[in-house]
Amino acid sequence: MNARTEKDALGSLDVPADAYYGIFTERARQNFKISGITADRDFIRALALIKKAAAAVNSELGLLGERTGGAIISAAAEVADGKWDSQFLLDVFQAGAGTPFNMNCNEVIANVAIEKLGGKKGEYQLVHPNNHVNMAQSSNDVIPTTTRIATLFSMQPLMMAIGKLAAEFRKKAAEYNGIVKTGRTHLEDAVPIRFDQVFNSYAKALDDCARRIKTAEDSLLQLGIGGTAVGTGINTHPQFKEKIVSKLSEYAGFKFSVAADSILTTWSASAFLESSNSLRLLATEVIKISNDLMLLNSGPKTAIAEIILPEVEPGSSIMPGKVNPSVPECAIMVCYQVLGNDFAVAEAAKSGQMELNVMTPLIAFDLLWSARIMANTLNMLNESCVSTMKVDAGRAQQLLEKGLSLVTSLNPYIGYEAAAEVVKIALKEDKPLTTVILENKIIDEQDLRKVLDVDAMTEPGLIDEQMRMRIQDSELFKRFKQAHQLK
């Protein structure tokens, strides 16, 4: 292997000659061979923008030479744009506080900048990873700030995916407006509900999730960069903190503010936990919606089958013609992973000691991964399932007519006990509700049609007092109650 030799406090080590990273990254690469998963693109982008902003501010403050600062700014911009992603090969599970991540970025930017100045990789007298690229910074303020910015980046496609899926459910609500189905509670028949009400409720649940994610973003916008090692700001210019936050607002496109307490931001992970919690709530709602879609699609001949999900793949290796709800199944699996990630974030968030939480690499990995896989999942659910699913209005009507929960609308007119007795008779004699009511002459046919209007059952409504009194005072109804020993 062609190599160059670099030195640090631990001694000398060979680094691949063509590598833009240096000795710190090489040591970390050799030490932490855990998952094979490397840093998220948004994480690298955010980290590089911090380096770019720091170099710009230190140059403005006269602490970094114009030529050196310019080379660092140019190199950091390339890293932020993804040109040097191949040089970020460290495992996401690594030394605490993300120091390897920070030094990986410092070394890559330094070596790219060195070449821009006409030097060769490893000639750190031109641009040094620590002295120049990491000037006025520490891993302890850089990595939490990187995680904040990267999370904000990752939430943007997720928010778009949530909005698109919510809009698709509203579109389905408009398409199937007024079609009534059997409601179900405890997985048993319940009172009627319209498909537009069901689909609009899904859309509202997603809207609420988006609102929670947006609220959690407020904490992420408060940056502790400039706090350095323990948040006190050692080795920084008095104006550095304000200036770098302003630069980052310009570079990243968010309206950041200086954290009120940069000591707090070095050890507290509550902002990350708040965002993770919002993703957990989103995953929880998506699990429920996906379960509903699978149940409503179940059958297609022996179960509910009130909706028809698109066929995306054969469903069995042994049963010809079988088709499964594969997309909702996949969505639920992803959501379970997000729930697990949230647990890991919660455990990591409470694992800080003294002036630092060393678990930030795990927090960053799980938080960014959750946001990414949830965005992809919602897009899949939208494009491969909800957008082309259909409601079988005939099947919904068929099941509605067979159901016994319609008797609920009789409660105000004949009372709970009498209505329950009607259900018992209908079950025992295997007859429709209307047949039992008319055979026992509890209510005449004209009044019964009015009471059992399923459209009316899906909205609040006033009781017809004249009808109620007429039914209650009828001799036939009194005899029915007496025959069945009802009060």
Domain that holds residue 417: 404-483
The pLDDT-based confidence of 139 (bands split at 50, 70, 90) is very high
Same domain, 443 and 367: no
Q: Is residue 160 part of a domain?
A: yes
Share of the chain above pLDDT 70, in %: 100
Residue 363 inside a domain? The answer is yes
Q: What does the pLDDT look like over 184-220, one tens digit per residue?
A: 999 999 999 999 999 999 999 999 999 999 999 999 9
Q: Are residues 113 and 184 in the same domain?
A: no
pLDDT over 80 at 78, yes or no: yes
Q: In the structure encoding, which two tokens stand for residue 8, read together?
A: 């640090």
Local confidence band at 263 (pLDDT 50, 70, 90 cut-offs): very high
249 shares its domain with 349: yes
* Pair 362, 429 in one domain: no
pLDDT given for residue 432 in this prediction:
86
Do residues 220 and 354 both lie within one domain?
yes
Of the residues 82, 108, 135, the one at which a domain ends: 135
Residues 10 and 111 reside in one and the same domain: yes
Which residue, of 102, 135, 168, is where some domain finishes? 135
**How many folded domains does the chain comprise?**
3
Tell me whether residue 150 is in a domain.
yes
Catalytic residue among 316, 326, 351, 409: 316
Distance between alpha carbon 284 and the CA centroid of its chain, in Å? Answer: 9
Same domain? For 321 and 383 the reply is yes
Residue 285 maps to a domain: yes
DSSP letter, residue 97: G
pLDDT tops 90 at residue 385: yes
* Residue 174 belongs to a domain: yes
Is 399 within a domain? no
* Buried-exposed string 163-197: b where 16+ CB fall within 10 A, e elsewhere: ebbbebbbebbeebeebbbbbbeeeebebbbbbbb
Compute the distance between CA of residue 265 and CA of residue 318 in angstroms, rounded to an integer.
56
Place 445 in a pLDDT band, splitting at 50, 70 and 90. confident
* Mean pLDDT score, 60-79: 98
pLDDT in tens, 264-299: 999 999 999 999 999 999 999 999 999 999 999 999
Question: Is the domain of 347 the same as that of 200?
Answer: yes
pLDDT value at residue 483: 84
Active site residue 316: yes
Rounded Cα gap, residues 434 and 452, in angstroms = 9
Which among 135, 166, 194 is the end of a domain?
A: 135
Confidence of residue 434 (pLDDT cuts 50, 70, 90): confident
Our CA dihedral for 219, 223, 227, 230, rounded to 10 degrees, sits at: 30
Regarding whether 210 and 131 lie in a shared domain, the answer is no
Q: Is 376 a residue whose pLDDT tops 90?
A: yes
Kindly state whether residue 348 falls inside one of the protein's structural domains: yes
pLDDT band of 181, cuts 50, 70, 90: very high
Judged against a pLDDT cut of 80, whether residue 5 lies above it is answered with yes
Is 153 among the domain residues?
yes
Q: Are residues 125 and 203 in the same domain?
A: no
CATH code of the domain containing 246: 1.20.200.10
Distance CA 149, CA 79 (A): 15
Predicted pLDDT at 442: 85
Q: Are residues 13 and 126 in the same domain?
A: yes
Q: What is the mean pLDDT of the chain?
A: 95
- 10 and 148 co-located in one domain: no
